């Protein structure tokens, strides 16, 4: 179906920050899997992990993912130009965050 990993920063000055990665199998897309994973992750960060800021990086052309992130309060904070190499071409990525 899908999975989500959370990485809470260990350095004292950034211990209030987490980032995450999420992946949903193509056979399960558009069935609410990403939303369910996001809700649980946010609940854990807000109520159990003392996380006030959740960060992520997403390719600028991943409109479905960006839509889900915005639905849960994430905002675009910047753009990484030529962030990664994909199929022989550089692609940009957005830096997004949700601050409690």
Residue 21 CA, distance from chain mean position: 6
Contact 55, 96 (CB under 8 A): yes
Confidence of residue 90 (pLDDT cuts 50, 70, 90): very high
Any idea what the CATH number is for the domain that residue 10 is in? 3.40.630.30
pTM: 0.91
Q: Determine the length of the chain.
A: 100
Confidence of residue 3 (pLDDT cuts 50, 70, 90): very high
How confident is the model over 12-65, as pLDDT tens digits?
Answer: 999 999 999 999 999 998 899 999 999 999 999 999 999 999 999 999 999 999
* Tally of CB atoms within 10 A around 94: 21
* Predicted pLDDT at 42: 98
* Predicted pLDDT at 31: 93
**Domain containing residue 8:** 2-99
When divided into structural domains, the chain yields a total of 1
* Predicted pLDDT at 24: 94
* Predicted pLDDT at 8: 97
């Amino acid at each position: 179906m899908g999975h989500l990993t959370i990485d809470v920063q260990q350095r004292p000055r950034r211990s209030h920050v987490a980032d995450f990665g999420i992946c949903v199998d193509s056979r399960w897309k558009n069935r609410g899997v990403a939303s369910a994973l996001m809700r649980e992750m946010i609940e854990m960060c807000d109520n159990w992990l003392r996380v006030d800021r959740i960060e992520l990086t997403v390719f600028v052309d991943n409109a479905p993912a960006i839509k889900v992130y915005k639905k849960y309060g994430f905002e675009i904070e910047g753009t990484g130009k030529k962030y990664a190499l994909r199929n022989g071409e550089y692609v940009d990525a957005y830096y997004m965050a949700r601050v409690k």
